[in-house]
Structure 1
Amino acid sequence: MSKRSPKSVEEKLEAVLSHLEKGQSLSQLSRRFDVAISTLERWIRRYQSDGEDGLVESRTWKKYTSELKQAAVEDYLSGQRGLNTICQKYGISSKSVLVRWIKEYTSGKEIKATSKGLSRMKQGRKTSFEERVEIVNFTIAHEKDYQAAMEKYGVSYQQVYSWVKKFEKQGSQGLVDRRGKGLESKPNLTTEEELQLKIKQLEERNRYLEAEVGLLKKLEEIKRRNQR
């Protein structure tokens, strides 16, 4: 099963500047760099917000105050700006993070600060190979929303980050826990099993997109009512 290789800061910068300074379209750059358009949009937002430093992928849980989260959600619901613009304005890591906040807000849940320090982060836990595969599939399908995966599966941010990086470099074999074991313990996935793994990832991505589209339709209706 083919994998998209992780991109260096230099490659990300080249892609961003090709769009901002040379006017190349996102669809062209998506094919050229073999990344999703949503990934390119995320790089551009981070570059415009933090410069080249924003293209260095963080290994830590990004902290957001409850005030920032509420301001971003209300700004979007006002109908004046789109998801990409809001993410850039408030320094939000991805659209999926903002959509999650909006979903919580519109369902009546209290918006709380994401974190008050690294000491508050979840501790890692022991997981099976099958769990790690499922967690990685979920994370990639949700635009690498490490925080959402951490909260959904009860693992640490660092675990999710590490598994995704290993999967991108080595495929499913990178998710094998070899501590205290020999190479013979490495599971041998068949071509059919690898294909099923890819299908599950695509199915998860489709579920995410369908949920996002449904939420955005609901939010458009809310914005129209607010503007009357």
Structure 2
Amino acid sequence: MAKYSFEFKKQIAQEYLSGKGGYSFLAQKYAVGNKDKKMVCKWVKAYKEFGDEGLMRSRKKETYTFEFKLHVVELYISTEVSYQELALSVGINNPPLIAKWVNDFRIAGPDALRPKKKGRKKLLGLTDKEKNIPSALDSTAIDTNVEYVKQLEDELLKLRIENAYLKELRRLRLEDEARLREQQESSTASEETSN
């Protein structure tokens, strides 16, 4: 995939916003890569929402809270919006990040969205002999009540999201069945009138 400069993307977005052409026209005019008008559309939306920052490649590492990630994943699963639209609505300039969160959530549940500790555990003040022997105190020092409650909360949240998803799926299926019934009734009614 070709990388486009900030100035190039801004020029195209400004031309679109000033009415000098549509997505397809501008994509052809500037010979934008394989995705043609989708790429131009993405640039225009990002420019309208975030201004110049929407078109710049971000070099800073944004961190998001577990609650925010979970909220965004819930929004995606329970609504019929694209990653691009959802990213713009929640103020993220990186739609593939939302796709990653959703995939991680579907694979491993809410725990996949929790922040992970970086690096190795430090064993300060221990001799080489003590480092190799697992301590009985390590296994008992963990407060299982807090972990158990957290696990139950995660499970409850996962079940709520799954429930909302299944309700939406059921609603869509019922709509399809009703539409099919209407089509069958209209086709049988037209056959009766033709006979």
User: What TM-score does the superposition give when structure 2 sets the normalisation length?
Assistant: 0.49
User: What TM-score does the superposition give when structure 1 sets the normalisation length?
Assistant: 0.43
Higher RCO (CA < 8 A, seq sep 6+) = 1
